[in-house]
Structure 1
Amino acid sequence: MMLSSFPLMNRLRLSKQPEPLLARHLFPSCHSVLDVGGQDAKVIVLGSAGNVVDFQMNDKCAAGTGRFLEIMAASLGFSLEEFGGAALSGRESLRINSMCTVFAESEVISLKNLGRNTRDIALAVHQSIVDRLMAMLHRAGAPGAELVFTGGGAKNICIVKLIEKKLGISVKLPKRPELTGAVGAALYGRDAGAVKTPGM
């Protein structure tokens, strides 16, 4: 039987955003959620009752996602885990003009061949990602006062710091941001009566 035949899966597929359910559970006053996963990035704006009032998602390109970070880190010789910290130590202002993964990687390689410091290039990569995320936040009209950052991208310290600097706020972070979607889906199922687990 296909998963789409289950009522709960249909509802999750249509809503596409279990993240705000957990975000509101952890941070009751949050008004917007920025989620950066492996293959997509999205902004979800919530109403006073926790309902979704606006939703923005990146286009088909992987730019601004975890996969983009992974490719750029490998191009510069960093692991994904150390990439954000390395970028924070960058000093020289460089610019990555393309947000297409293939073209951006070519720019990164060209800068390396010119002898640019890899940490400076890493910072430029992160700045280009944050510029893209900020554009999504502005298109969604996401309030800046209570922004919850979820998904694996929220584990990147440089992205967090750059967003906080641009917005002038402290971003709210779950302890395990990469699990927000999964736990939110579980809460959705519990509230919908689809999951009957003792103690929940």
Structure 2
Amino acid sequence: MSRPVVQFWYEFASTYSYPAAMRIEDLAERRGVELRWRPFLLGPIFAEAGWTTSPFNLLPVKGAYMWRDLERICASSGLPFTRPDPFPQNGLKAARIATALAPEQVPLFSRAVYLAEFGEGWRIDDEKMLATLITRAGANAEEILTLSAGNEAKARLRASVEEAKALGIFGAPSVTCADGELFWGNDRLEQAMDHALATHIPQ
């Protein structure tokens, strides 16, 4: 019998995508939901809204709240937290790499990037660091770095951004269900899983 499928849309520079990425796979497994990891970029979406940086930078009081909130979430979840500098980080290389990896390697790499960025404060545009994380995910770093810089990976990532726009995604993390229902935020993961299960038609 088929399982319901949800797509997990995340941006490597996104703060709340960090705790979401660290818990969503276990959550989906416990709920019996098939999870598909979908790296994308928020920059083009923000640019269309006239934003040149994160909304957390555009509204400092909101940013201050977010950092404190993220500290609380990480503390309660047992996750390390270090505020990255600069913020937002440039996640383009990491997103292209995630796009070039085999599906089973994407979760391992993605969680490692988030831990390096928000757990240890590393810059995620550092190619040497990214190469190490590729290797830890079980892939050949030289091969994947070459693929990620190629036209196919770039085109696939651009297509993911366009698909995200078409789905009405405006922030990360976001989860979309088979019927197009959209859930935004780390605190909506459970609701997304519940909806996917409730609306699933077994095949």
In the superposition, the TM-score normalised over structure 2's length comes to 0.29
In the superposition, the TM-score normalised over structure 1's length comes to 0.29
Which structure has more RCO (C-alpha within 8 Å, separation ≥ 6)? 2
